Amino acid sequence: MKAIVQDVYGTADVLALRDIARPVAREGEVLVSVRAAGVEQGVWHLMTGLPYLVRLFGYGLKKPKVSVRGREVAGVVESVGAGVTRFKAGDEVFGTSEGSFAEYVCAKEGRLARKPRNLPFEGVAAAAISGVTALQAVRDAGQVTVGQKVLVIGAGGGVGSFAVQIAKAFGANVTGVCSTGKVEFVRSLGADAVIDYTREDFAAAGAQYDVILDTAGNRPFSVLRRALARRATLVLVGGENGRKLTGGFERSLAAPLLSLFSRQKYKSLVSRETYLDLEAVASLIEAGSVKPAVDKVFPLEEAPAAVRYLREGRSLGKVVVRI
């Protein structure tokens, strides 16, 4: 099969299209014929090995343990391994598995769900990680309820675009924060208000929010706290400040400690990839409450260009690779 492979850590230049052996589903696994694969920030982190903290999490100290890139997947079940009961050959599925930039990938049964009927594979692939992360940020960490004022920072990105829609589906009044070129896009997602951070400082505007979801990963606590109501919740989703050792995750590490000394709650989110939450996202999609926003679709051979485009920060929602 054809796959996007890397032998060493580095920029998108280390990615290459190659012919490699097709995987075989083992016990508890599902072999998926890939139709589309989402491109999210985790792909870049695993490609570069940055921050170095990523390597310590078991992905390989000197070179990637898994050479095929990609994590979000949508496709058709080709075969199933022993013990698999939820799927059979021919089922259309989506979910997560290391190595989805390929014609075939093996995924654990518990990390797949049935594809929503009302979306093409490209849209579904965009939801596997970003949609689930946004759901867990809104529902679990933020505990968003009807009538709350919610601020989504990075509202024009992959996770942010889902978070805006999911918070609206939960009955919140949502304000999105984004750059100038994404204002109309975020408004089209259903945001009640949009703040262009290049022209306005949301923390200096005087408004206070019940929940802030920071998906951009580079603002200090001192700024975020000014926009929080007295007993509000701040949810940190990832970290992207560019530091080679921790890459912004120091904010997430500090959040629980700072919460001990404040009436405000500071939470860091590490998303959990489960089929139950994939099914929950699929239900929101099928109900019309959420529509994955796909900016550009690249063919498999142009996956390196897709990663570069993601890191430029200009994409409106998600970037997807079509196989």
pLDDT in tens, 130-151: 999 999 999 999 999 999 999 9
Distance linking the first and last C-alpha atoms of the chain: 11
Percent of the chain's residues with pLDDT above 70: 95
Summarize pLDDT for 40-64 with one digit per residue, the tens.
999 999 999 987 877 877 788 889 9
pLDDT of amino acid 249: 65
- Where does the pLDDT of residue 248 fall: very low under 50, low under 70, confident under 90, or very high at 90 and above? low
CA count, 13 A, side-chain hemisphere, 156: 21
pLDDT of amino acid 206: 84
Return the structure tokens found at 74: 């949508």
Return the structure tokens found at 286: 């099928």
Cis peptide before 304 (omega within 30 of 0): no
Question: Rounded mean pLDDT of the chain?
Answer: 93
Question: Which contacts qualify for 218-222: CB closer than 8 Å, 24 or more apart?
Answer: 218/248, 219/153, 220/251, 221/251, 221/254, 221/258, 221/266
241 pLDDT above the threshold of 70: no
69 pLDDT above the threshold of 60: yes
252 pLDDT above the threshold of 70: no
User: Where is average pLDDT lowest: 75-89, 99-113, 219-233, 301-315?
Assistant: 219-233
Mean pLDDT: which of 124-133, 201-210, 233-242, 269-278 is highest?
Answer: 124-133
Closest CA to 240 of 265, 222, 269, 216: 216
Return the structure tokens found at 316: 């409106």
242 pLDDT above the threshold of 70: no
- Where does the pLDDT of residue 180 fall: very low under 50, low under 70, confident under 90, or very high at 90 and above? very high
